[in-house]
Amino acid sequence: MLNSIAAGRRLALRTVTIQAAVTLVAALVALLYGRDAALGVLSGGGVLALGSLLAAWKGLAGGVASAGGALWRLLVALALKWMVVVAGFYLAIAVWQLPPLAVIAGAVIAALAVVANMSWQARG
């Protein structure tokens, strides 16, 4: 077997850990621009990391399944992730009044961390 469920879980956890670490570093840098900017970056990246964690938990739960069942789980996981992200953005921008640019920047930084992680994984 080339790709086990356990390997998928390890990769998902590593990805979420990298997202969280990069978000924390970016939030520390954003402190130079003020507390609200740092909280915005932290909330934007944090909500993306939380969404990724929930998607991994839901998408990789249940063990081996048919192709249709596995696809359905992944689609539900993806929908769950984006519902969490949209709700988190709403809370951060509309309710907590954090700077929208900082929130979006945090999410972009966390998303780029995923792309970088996938690139490093592909190199072996």
Domain assignments of the chain as residue spans, ordered by start:
5-123
DSSP states of 84-117: HHHHHHHIIIIIS---HHHHHHHHHHHHHHHHHH
DSSP states of 63-81: SS--HHHHHHHHHHHHHHH
Place of tokens 């596995």: 70
Quote the DSSP letter at residue 62. T
> How does pLDDT run along the chain (124 residues), one tens digit per residue?
556 778 888 888 999 999 999 999 999 999 999 999 999 999 999 999 999 999 999 988 877 778 888 889 999 999 999 999 999 999 999 999 999 999 999 999 999 999 988 888 777 6
C-beta neighbour count of 90 within 10 angstroms? 12
Helix/strand/coil for 32: helix
Cα separation, 11 vs 105, whole angstroms: 24
CB 14 within 8 A of CB 117: yes
| 35 CB-near residues (< 8 Å, 6+ apart) | none
